[in-house]
A and B are shown apart, each in its own frame.
Chain A
Amino acid sequence: MAQPELGDEILRLDNLNVHFPVKMPFVQRLLQREKAVVHAVDGVSFSIHSGEILGLVGESGCGKTTVGKASVRLLNPTSGRIFFAGQDISKIGGRSLRTLRRKMQIIFQDPHASLNPAMAIGRAIGHPLWIHGSEFGIQNLSSTVFRERVQQRVLSTMREVGLTPEEQLYDKFPGDLSGGQKQRAVIARALILEPDLLVVDEGVSMLDMSIRAKVLELMLDLKRQHGLTYLFITHDLATAKFICDRLAIMYLGRIVEIGPARDIYADPKHPYTKALLQVVPIPDPDKRKEKVLPRGEVPDAVHPPAGCRFHPRCPAVLPSCGWEGRDFVDFLDEHLSDPKRAGDDELVLGPIENWRTNGLVASLEAKPLNIEEAVERVKAVLAEAPIAMAQAIESVSTHKRTVIIHFRPPNELRQTQVGDRIVECLLYQ
């Protein structure tokens, strides 16, 4: 495959941030001075050029859906800018935004939920034309001429997306259609406005395997015929491989690796990308293998880990990746909850609630008489800890009755150009 000629820039995100307030009870809101926010998207930048398919890949909670919704301004960015065909759309609203929606469409994961159960398929697909009717120079929307034109367009679009026999399906309701047909209807509805950009959010993952390929092929066909540009959001690297020109891997609100799809599949750089590629199931019982998986799950995005957000789970972590006080306390908690490993450590270092953390520092006001022992125990626990974390500790000291653990400040994490791609990882800095 030759490198496709880069067309005009269709979409560009410039340091996009989307934060959501954390919902909490009224009293708690009064008591807490600092407002807790979910850092759904934290400084994401990329651009998509005309005729290109950019895959945005990550696990749930990584912010990929939020990026998709913000790109078509279904969500308002907290900060940062969004350019659509050169125009800054991050602040526009009202009429100008609604007019712009003709040019950018979004397709959601669940085709069933995306269709109004009370609207017949033909009407649903044609509805965008009614909504934007005045922009086509039509004054009288109820005129028979317009109505007939809409119907003809709907029928031809239905044919184009393979929603046939179109005459029969026209008056059917979503409940009468199969999953694949519903997704085709959703695609037809998005397509009828002839958009330039199509955001596809997990557009095939709810479909049965045997029809998934059909819908993917349809999307590729439409790209070729209409010069469509896609932002293809998915958790499935195998699907992305088939359809995407470029790939952006997201983890906890940040893009950790972005570049040509071919390069990333051939030689993933970021340890998270490697992990994701590793867990794609291989449909061959003879190729079973043990996997080295990242530990645990994606942490919550209210207080994302310092430094590289992947560092607490990273198999290739360095001492300089962003270790801090709470990483130690998390590890200690894990240690104490395993009776075999913990022994009587709980008596000296527990309960875990007594530990205080503040950035690079973790501290414990030790029980009387055993401050020295507490230090010894901390050191013993550290001997079992990930080597990178142990090495990141500057000192274990005491102050009066308090054990204090100091971490070294992490190295600054920068996005680094590696060949054709950008990686955010200290290994490549």
Chain B
Amino acid sequence: MDPMLQVQDLSVHYKTRRGFVRALEELRLDAIQGETVGVVGETGSGKSTLGKAILGILPAGTQVDGKILFRGRDLTQLSNQMYRRLRGEEIALIFQDPMTRLNPLMTIMDHFVEEIRDHESVSADEARRRAREALVSMGIHESRIKNYPHEFSGGMRQRIMIALAIVLKPSLLIADEPTTSLDVIVESQILGILQDLKRAYSMSLLLITHNLGIVAEVCDRVAVLYAGKLVELGPVRDIFRKPLHPYTQGLLSSIIHLETKELHSIEGSPPNMIAPPSGCRFHPRCPYAQSICVERLPPLVEFEPGHFAACHFGDKFL
């Protein structure tokens, strides 16, 4: 099947007071219909930048190179107006903190009616009917549809955000840390909802998270980002069974879970993104680093079918 989303050699550089921050560097990624792709990374990995780049909501003055093909169309070339139509209708985003995205002065119903009528010319009654349907499907009582955002709990708000994101039935849903500000039990509930929705609408889901536990539970494929570079990409089982990049290995072993017997961590801290390390960006923290790692940028190599890694010594870990 043709990928629905293809990100090709995407670079995003932010202009800051101190120079260009290379948030993303030549990133490659794709997603086919109905697939959940996890984008994993830590502070400064550029994972949120990726979501914003796909949705075209990077701050003004940001330098974007490369292509983002969505159903064959290059999104980086879209006009603002085209992009506005596309957002919500075909690509939707769920943020980490729903409260900052909901207008406190508008009722939940108003949010929906506005979103629907922004994109489609339907009557207010029809918009309201669809809003009600979407909310009820998220487990929000109909009686509360006239309430304001602050009258809902965090979990409820996130459900409302999800309902709002899917009301136009987009084919790609980007969820940027959708459960990070939620409690563990509600987190599980929301992940369940996302899974059900994906199945029901055969959407693709791009799940941006720092939590590998969540990735293991819901994703089909995983992309691991480090300091703006894609270091590993592959089916979730391969990544968890046989991680090829030392960063992925370190990250996996540093997860603390109920079976953890011994603590592991990665030495050092994430690099300065204005002047990232030469060669492989992970080399200052890598236990296997050789001189080649300092000198040469490792290319992304397909070591197994569908399993890519950017490490000079990837074959050693096969």
Q: Contact residues of A with B, CB < 8 Å?
A: 59-60, 178-181, 208-214, 216-217, 235-239, 241-242, 265, 275-277, 279-286, 288, 291, 293-294, 297-298, 333-334, 336-339, 351-352
Contacts and interface: CB of A to CB of B under 8 A. Distances in A.
A235 B184 contact: yes
Interface in B20-43: 42-43
Nearest to B212: A283
7 contacts: A214-B265, A276-B185, A279-B185, A280-B213, A283-B216, A297-B154, A336-B142
A284 B216 contact: yes
Contact of A286 (B142, B189, B210, B237): B237
Interface string B126-150: 0000000000100001110000000
Contacts of A351: 143
Interface string B217-259: 1010000000000000000110010000000001110111111
Interface-central residue, B43, B252, B257, B270, by most chain A CB under 10 Å: B257
A208 B216 contact: no
A250 to B, nearest CB: 12
Contact of A211 (B155, B255, B266): B266
Given A237-B258, A283-B257, A297 B156 contact: yes
Contact of A238 (B141, B187, B210, B256): B256
A297 B155 contact: yes
A281 B43 contact: no
Contacts of B259: 282
A174 to B, nearest CB: 15
Interface string B48-92: 000000000000000000000000000000000000000000000
Contact of B269 (A180, A235, A352): A180
B186 interface: yes
B134 to A, nearest CB: 13
Contacts of B266: 210-211
A212 B265 CA distance: 7
B217 A281 contact: yes
A283 B142 contact: no
Contacts of A241: 258, 260
Nearest to A299: B153
Interface in B175-203: 183-189, 192
A210 B269 CA distance: 9
A409 to B, nearest CB: 29
Given A212-B265, A293-B192, A297-B153, A285 B141 contact: no
A209 B185 contact: no
Nearest to A265: B258
Contacts of A179: 43
A78 B18 CA distance: 51
B221 to A, nearest CB: 11
A294 B136 CA distance: 19
B183 A209 contact: no
Given A59-B183, A208-B270, A297-B183, A280 B258 contact: yes
Given A209-B210, A276-B184, A288-B217, 15 more contacts: A59-B183, A60-B183, A208-B270, A209-B42, A209-B254, A210-B251, A212-B256, A216-B263, A217-B263, A281-B216, A281-B257, A283-B255, A285-B217, A293-B189, A336-B143
B188 A279 contact: yes
A59 B184 contact: yes
A288 to B, nearest CB: 6
Nearest to A290: B192
Between B192, B256, B270, the greatest number of chain A beta carbons within 10 A of the residue's beta carbon is seen for B256
B141 A281 contact: no
A283 B252 contact: yes
A274 B254 CA distance: 25
Contacts of A352: 143
B185 A210 contact: no
Contact of A242 (B189, B240, B250, B263): B263
A281 B185 contact: no
A241 B259 CA distance: 9
A277 B258 contact: yes
B8 interface: no
Contacts of A294: 185
B214 interface: yes
A239 B216 contact: no
A180 B270 CA distance: 10
Contacts of A265: 258
A63 to B, nearest CB: 13
A210 B211 CA distance: 11
